[in-house]
Each structure stands twice: as C-alpha cells, then as structure tokens.
C-alpha cells in the first residue's frame, strides 16, 4: 500500500508553515495565517507562532527551541491550502465496514439480524478480520480521521488484531471487545457475565502489552447496548470500569422499538438512561451513541453524570432512527462529538458526518407539526448547526467525548500533532490558464473568503482534499 511507504515510526522535530484553521469554541473557527507550528519528536506541539514566515521561523523560532535547521522536517501549506485538526470518529464498528451502504429499508432491530450479526460473527476468521480491519483503518485515515472509537466483535483474537493494526498503521484508537449475552444468535454471544468480563480483560491485557501507556491505543469497555446485555453482565462491566477507570462505550435511545425492548426487559427501571445508571455504566468516561429519543430527565441525568454523546447523523437518517436534538444536548452542557457509525452510517468520513449533522439539524428546524403553529423563524433557526459548529463537533467536540481534550482536537501548545493538510482546487482564470487541480469537488474561483472556502470544503470536500494526515507527529497517510 502506498501509505505504508510514507510512514516512519519515529519522527524528527518538525516545522509546519502556512495557514492553520481550528475550532477554539463551539461556533468559533480561528484562522491562523502565515503561522509556524513546531512539533517535537514525541509529536507534541511546542510552539505556535503567528506572523511567522519560513525565514523568521528558521532565524528565530528554531534557535529558541535549540533545533538545528538540518534536523527539522519542514512542511508548508501553499497558498490556499491549510492545516486542520484530525477528525475524531467517536463511534464506529470496524467489522461492519464491508456492509457500508447495505441496509435496504431496515431499521435497527431487523438491520442487526439481517446484515450486522452475520458479518460481525464472521470475524472469527482472523484472515478475514485482517482484510476488513486493514481496509477500514486505511479508509478512515484517508478521510483525515486521526482518532476512532471502535466497536470490534466478541472475538478476542480479532479484537486484539484490530488494536495491533491501529497501532501499526498509526491511528489513535479506542478498541472495544463487544460484550453481549442475549439478542444475537447463540453462536455470537458471551456465555456468561464472567465471560464478558474475562474476555474484556484479555483484550485490556493485550493492549497493555503492546502500548503500555495507552499512548495511541486505549481499551474501552463495550457493552453493546442494554437489549443485548443481561443486568448481570452490565453490572459486572460497571464494576470492571470502576476497577480500571477505563472508558465505556455503548448505544442509547436510537430507535423506538429498541426503547420498548429495554422497557420490557427492565420493567422496574423507569428509563433507558436509568438502566445504564443503575448498572454503573453512566460514568464521566461513557460514550453514548445516538441519544435521539431521550426525555428531558434522561438528558439531565446524562449531563449530571457527565457522560458524552456520539451523534451519528448518517446512521440515524439511513436506518430511519430519528433526528437527534444536538442543540438541546449542548445546551444541557453535554459534550457531543460525531460518529460515522459504519455501517448503520454508510460513509467512512467524519466530514460527511459533519455535513449531515448540519442537514439533520435543518430537518429539525423545518416548519411542520413538530413545531407549534406560532413558532417563529428565529426559534426554529436556533436549532440549526452552523458550518463552524459541526466542524467543532468533528474535532474539539470529539476530543471531549473520547476524554482526550487535553491531548487532541486543536492546534494548542501542549497538544499532540493530529492533523490533516487540506488542498482545494483552484479553477483556472481562463480556459487556457493554469489552476491547481487536486481532484474532488471543491472548486475555488479565487474571490471566496476563507469562511466561504471552509463552507465549500464542508459541503463538497472528500478524501481527495485530504492530502496528508499525521497522528502524534507521524505521517500516517499521504494521498496517492
């Protein structure tokens, strides 16, 4: 593969020059032009200097750091190009990658039985898992996803393999062995709560052996979702969380039939959110995917517990789950990131997830019976997410959701260099003129403001615009 050729396992000191764009707060992109960023050999940002061209950087910045010029790798974003923080996919199922786009008219519960369980259970075959996981990670990296929170399957060897592949291909990842002891076919279930825990421990031990400080790969406790877990299993996993302080990921309130199933299963517990809470799984390190049909009190409880939400608009629109009220969650102080949720969602791209987060928020704002007759345009418009807001969710928001807000998500001194270099096409001035053509569908005519270029990238950008991708300073993808 072409990517492998460009990867090096240890990095020299690096100097990045040009335009850097990142989200500094919800709805607020900062544009740093003519800027220099220095990244040390551990992949950490040690300097961000504005009004600093190459000469200035070489003459003043590098000497200040004590870096000899000939030991520094220099990467420059040319005119019109820019660096952007790597995307964070807060919810994705690696074993479902081959099924992207294949969901027909199904909704959650029949989708699981028809498409998902058969594919996932086939990861018992390690050579198949290697082929699927390699392609999934490669694809995800090529779209600028520098961190992903993966659901694997119940299989320990394949889950360990996923962790190994992320480590060798250089993607920052949370890797979770899926735990479930009901709902799926017998051959694709844990036999007991003890087995859920012991097999999860096996994966934790493996990851500790290959990445002892969780520098790149972190194990994550993964009860699939309440309908597929007995109370005992959830309790056991909740205890494991308490013991290990590891993060947790699961699904919540995606689909009405699912919610009814949870009600039947736990008749004594008032809400779906309470089910997780009462089993010790609603922690400040818990990532809850979907969170569409929550009641007011459920959202309040999630906020109180400081659990996080992975919003997966592509999935929610594809398998007809519903429209998550992101503005409402944010206003409750809940951290929200974006997830591709492959293969409930068809797209491997968090840029597409951001685009669809915008469209789904528009659907929530549409006039119709969802709104009182006298709702004003202003009230309705308020729920819409702006370009800047969805790009925040894709980066800094996602960093909060996976608990790495101190390490990734923006270009701040002390953070690690998880970044992508973005190139947009410049349309030639005349038929016989010279433009720059990187492929893809973002055409810049030259009169656009930077804000407009970013909007164009959000709505028409794809992996062709993602020219290079770095994780922790290491180049992990370069466009062919």
Q: Using CB under 8 A as the criterion, which residues of the chain lie in contact with its own copies when the complex forms?
A: 1, 97-98, 100-105, 107, 127, 130-132, 134-135, 139, 256-257, 317-323, 346-349, 356, 359, 362-363, 365-370, 377, 381, 384, 386-387, 427-431, 439, 441-443, 445, 447-448, 452, 455-460, 462-464
Closest to its own copies by CB, 65 vs 126, is 126
Pairing between strand 13-25 and 28-39?
Answer: antiparallel
Q: Give the distance from CA 95 to its chain's centroid.
A: 16
Q: How far is the CB of 407 from its own copies (least distance, A)?
A: 29
Q: How far is the CB of 151 from its own copies (least distance, A)?
A: 19
R_g of the chain, CA atoms, integer Å: 22
Annotate 368-405 with DSSP letters as a single string: STTS-TT--HHHHHHTPPPHHHHHHIIIIIHHHHTT-T
End-to-end CA distance of the chain: 10
By the 8 A CB rule, do 422 and 436 touch?
no
Give the whole-angstrom CA distance, residue 225 versus residue 202.
21
Closest to its own copies by CB, 342 vs 404, is 342
Q: How far is the CB of 164 from its own copies (least distance, A)?
A: 13
Q: How far is the CB of 327 from its own copies (least distance, A)?
A: 12
Give the whole-angstrom CA distance, residue 207 versus residue 213.
9
**Token pair in block for residue 102:** 């294949």
Closest to its own copies by CB, 279 vs 456, is 456
**Token pair in block for residue 74:** 């220099």
Q: How far is the CB of 185 from its own copies (least distance, A)?
A: 19
The 3-state secondary structure of 154-197, one letter per residue: CCHHHHHHHHHHHHHHCCEEEEECEECCCCCCHHHCCCCHHHHH
Q: How far is the CB of 480 from its own copies (least distance, A)?
A: 8
Closest to its own copies by CB, 137 vs 204, is 137
Residues 6+ apart with CB under 8 A from 272: 226, 252, 253, 259, 262, 263, 294, 298
Closest to its own copies by CB, 73 vs 107, is 107
By the 8 A CB rule, do 215 and 265 touch?
no
Beta bridge partners of 337: 310
Indicate the SS3 state at residue 419.
strand
Closest to its own copies by CB, 45 vs 158, is 158
Closest to its own copies by CB, 199 vs 251, is 251
Beta bridge partners of 35: 18
Q: How far is the CB of 103 from its own copies (least distance, A)?
A: 8
Q: How far is the CB of 241 from its own copies (least distance, A)?
A: 32
Closest to its own copies by CB, 448 vs 478, is 448
């Amino acid at each position: 593969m072409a990517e492998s050729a460009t990867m090096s396992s240890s990095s020299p000191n690096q100097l990045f020059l040009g335009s850097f764009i990142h989200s500094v707060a919800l709805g607020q992109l900062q544009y740093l032009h003519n800027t220099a960023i220095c990244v040390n050999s551990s992949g950490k940002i040690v300097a961000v200097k504005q009004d600093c061209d190459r000469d200035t950087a070489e003459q003043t910045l590098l000497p200040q750091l004590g870096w000899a010029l000939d030991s520094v790798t220099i990467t420059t974003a040319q005119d019109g190009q820019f660096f952007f923080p790597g995307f964070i996919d807060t919810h994705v199922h690696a074993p479902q990658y081959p099924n992207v786009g294949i969901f027909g008219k199904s909704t959650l519960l029949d989708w699981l039985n028809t498409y998902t369980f058969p594919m996932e259970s086939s990861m018992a075959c390690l050579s198949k898992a290697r082929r699927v996981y390699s392609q999934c990670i490669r694809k995800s990296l090529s779209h600028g996803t520098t961190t992903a929170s993966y659901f694997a399957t119940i299989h320990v060897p394949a889950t360990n393999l996923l962790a190994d592949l992320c480590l060798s291909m250089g993607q920052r990842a949370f890797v979770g062995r899926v735990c479930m002891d009901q709902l799926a076919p017998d051959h694709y279930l844990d036999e007991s709560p003890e087995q859920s825990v012991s097999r999860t421990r096996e994966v934790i031990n493996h990851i500790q052996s290959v990445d002892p400080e969780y520098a790149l790969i972190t194990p994550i406790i993964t009860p699939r979702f309440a309908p597929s877990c007995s109370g005992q299993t959830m309790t056991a996993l909740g205890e494991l969380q308490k013991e290990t302080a590891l993060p947790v990921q699961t699904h919540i309130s995606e689909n009405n039939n699912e919610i009814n199933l949870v009600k039947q299963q736990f008749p004594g517990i008032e809400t779906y959110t309470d089910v997780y809470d009462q089993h010790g799984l609603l922690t400040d390190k818990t990532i809850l995917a979907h969170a569409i049909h929550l009641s007011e009190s459920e959202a309040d409880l999630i906020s109180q517990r400081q659990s996080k939400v992975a919003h997966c608009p592509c999935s929610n629109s594809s398998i007809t789950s519903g429209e998550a009220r992101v503005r409402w969650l944010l206003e409750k102080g809940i951290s929200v990131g974006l997830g591709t949720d492959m293969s409930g969602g068809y797209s491997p791209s968090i840029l597409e997830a951001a685009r669809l987060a915008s469209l789904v928020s528009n659907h929530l704002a549409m006039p119709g019976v969802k709104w009182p007759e006298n709702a004003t345009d202003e009230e309705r418009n308020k729920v819409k997410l702006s370009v800047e807001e969805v790009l925040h969710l894709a980066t800094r928001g996602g960093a909060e959701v996976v608990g790495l807000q101190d390490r990734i998500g923006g270009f701040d001194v002390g953070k690690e260099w998880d970044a992508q270099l973005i190139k947009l096409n410049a349309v030639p001035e005349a038929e016989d003129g010279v433009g720059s053509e990187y492929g893809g569908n973002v055409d810049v005519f030259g009169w656009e403001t930077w804000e407009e270029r970013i909007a164009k990238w959000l709505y028409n950008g794809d992996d062709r615009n993602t020219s290079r991708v770095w994780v922790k300073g290491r180049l992990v993808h370069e466009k062919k």
